[in-house]
């Protein structure tokens, strides 16, 4: 079965970098460039892994997961890992409180990114 990954990232440079890394690792993925599109794709479900940026235009990552808790996807939704450059603060506390993992984008080198994706798919 194909591993479906959804990458929700609004920064075009980072989206291209992550897309190139996922492609080179032979992983199948789709992208969304804003929270509204990300929410629509996530609400369909069927994703094995969602890499979800915290700060997005139209709807931030936390709002997306809260809305999905209220109105669950039609098909199961796999693991969600937040991508953020915030190392502390209210949002990071909320991510932890809701039971999600997060990674600091600026701390990840390409190998660490792919290793995190692969370990999250297990």
Across 27-36, 78-87, 95-104, 108-117, which has the greatest mean pLDDT? 27-36
* 51, two tokens: 């890499």
**Spatial separation of the C-alpha atoms in residues 30 and 57, rounded to whole Å:** 18
The answer on pLDDT for 74 being more than 90 is: no
Give the model's pLDDT for residue 122.
Answer: 81
Q: Which domains does the chain have, with CATH numbers?
A: 4-121 (3.40.50.2300)
- Over residues 102-107, the mean pLDDT reads 91
The answer on pLDDT for 1 being more than 50 is: no
Is the pLDDT higher at 91 or at 52?
52
The answer on pLDDT for 20 being more than 70 is: yes
**Spatial separation of the C-alpha atoms in residues 97 and 82, rounded to whole Å:** 13
């Amino acid at each position: 079965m194909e591993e479906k990954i959804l990458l929700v990232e609004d920064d075009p440079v980072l989206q291209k970098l992550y897309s190139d890394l996922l492609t080179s690792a032979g992983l199948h993925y789709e992208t969304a460039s804003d929270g509204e599109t990300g929410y629509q794709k996530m609400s369909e479900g069927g994703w094995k892994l969602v890499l979800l940026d915290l700060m997005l235009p139209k709807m931030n990552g936390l709002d997306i997961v809260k809305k999905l808790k209220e109105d669950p996807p039609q098909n199961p939704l796999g693991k969600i890992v937040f991508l953020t450059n915030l190392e502390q603060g209210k949002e990071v506390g909320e991510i932890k409180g809701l039971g999600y993992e997060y990674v600091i984008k600026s701390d990840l080198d390409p190998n660490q990114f792919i290793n995190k994706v692969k370990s999250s798919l297990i």
